[in-house]
Amino acid sequence: MPARQFPAALSLALCIAMPLAGSAAAADQPREATIIVSGEGEVSIAPDMAVLTMSVVRQAETAAAALAANNEAMAKVLSALKAQTIAERDLQTSDFSVQPQYRQDAVVNGGYEAPQIAGYVVQNTLTVRVRDLKNLGGVIDQSVKLGVNQGGEIRFTNDKPEDAIAGARKAAVAEAVAKAKLLTEAAGVGLGRVVEISENFSRPMPPPVYRAAMVKEMADSVPVATGENSYNVTVNVTFAITQ
């Protein structure tokens, strides 16, 4: 029996030793020389869509009365928006709340009575996508006149910015390649294959250009400036260096 076990133990020792020898050989191999450069690309285009956020706020002594008043006003706003060819898919309730309002009266000895509910406030916030920017001023104006009395924020965006993003990517890569060629020529070495590419892209977040709080009256057509959206892409490219 001992004579039969010896070859098996020797075989196991050889299997363990072989990977270690291979790892040592790999560690002795020279590391490939590389250069890492970054490139930036930007494409600006006019927006073709606006996302409008606005709220109807109503206050009453009871929650039911505040809710009824809010529902009536919001129903008028929704009806008017649909009449202006705003599609159902472009109308979305983004926030709704019912909040009690408290009153705390002072007493003779300088303290205060326990808080008591004095009324309720109901807020209904609507997000609207306006795909025809020519109608944007009219949408804002009519919504305010029909019941919107808080909030109001516009973000200009693009429905399909893929072409602009692709253009920014190409410009970023072209800049990275130009940088790499310049650096390797200056160093007296050759530019080899692309080893790795990574990208950093974020959609533009334009600042809100319109806010309305407790607006009572507005002009017949609100003037709106759309400007441009800039799509920026940054790439990091690793190239091999040849001698």
Is 120 in contact with 98 (CB distance < 8 Å)? yes
Tell me which of 2 and 51 has the higher pLDDT: 51
Give residue-wise pLDDT tens across range 227-239. Answer: 889 999 999 999 9
pLDDT in tens, 127-176: 999 999 988 888 998 899 888 988 778 899 999 999 999 999 999 999 99
| Model pLDDT, residue 9 | 41
Listed range (37-41, 108-112, 113-117, 126-130) with the worst mean pLDDT:
108-112
Residue 16 has pLDDT above 60, yes or no: no
Q: Can you tell me the distance from the alpha carbon of 220 to that of 139, in angstroms, rounded to the nearest whole number? A: 10
Cα 156 to its chain centre, rounded Å, is 13
| Cα torsion angle, 108, 114, 117, 123, sign | positive
88 DSSP assignment: G
The per-residue pLDDT for 13 is 37
CA-nearest of 144, 132, 150 to 80 is: 144
Structural domains of the chain ordered from first start? 31-46+161-209+229-243 (3.30.110.170), 49-104+116-157 (3.30.70.2970)
pLDDT beyond 80 at 14: no
pLDDT given for residue 26 in this prediction = 55
Please give the helix or strand (H or E) that residue 142 lies within, else none.
Answer: helix 136-146
Tens digits of per-residue pLDDT, 189-220? Answer: 999 999 999 999 877 655 444 444 434 444 45
Task: Determine the pLDDT at residue 163.
Answer: 95
pLDDT at 243 over 70: yes
Distant-in-sequence, close-in-space partners of 194: CB < 8 Å, separation ≥ 6: 237, 238, 239, 240
Tell which wins on pLDDT, 243 or 14: 243
pLDDT digits (tens, 9 = 90+) for 59-99: 999 999 999 999 999 999 999 999 988 999 999 999 999 99
Give the separation between CA 61 and CA 136, rounded to whole angstroms. Answer: 35
- Beta-strand ranges (E) seen in the chain are 34-45, 49-60, 91-103, 116-130, 150-157, 190-202, 229-242
Average confidence (pLDDT) over 169-187: 97
- For residue 193, the tally of other CB atoms under 10 A from its CB is 10
Better-predicted residue by pLDDT, 17 or 190: 190
Of 17 and 133, the one with more pLDDT: 133
Instruction: Return the biggest CA–CA distance within the chain.
Output: 106
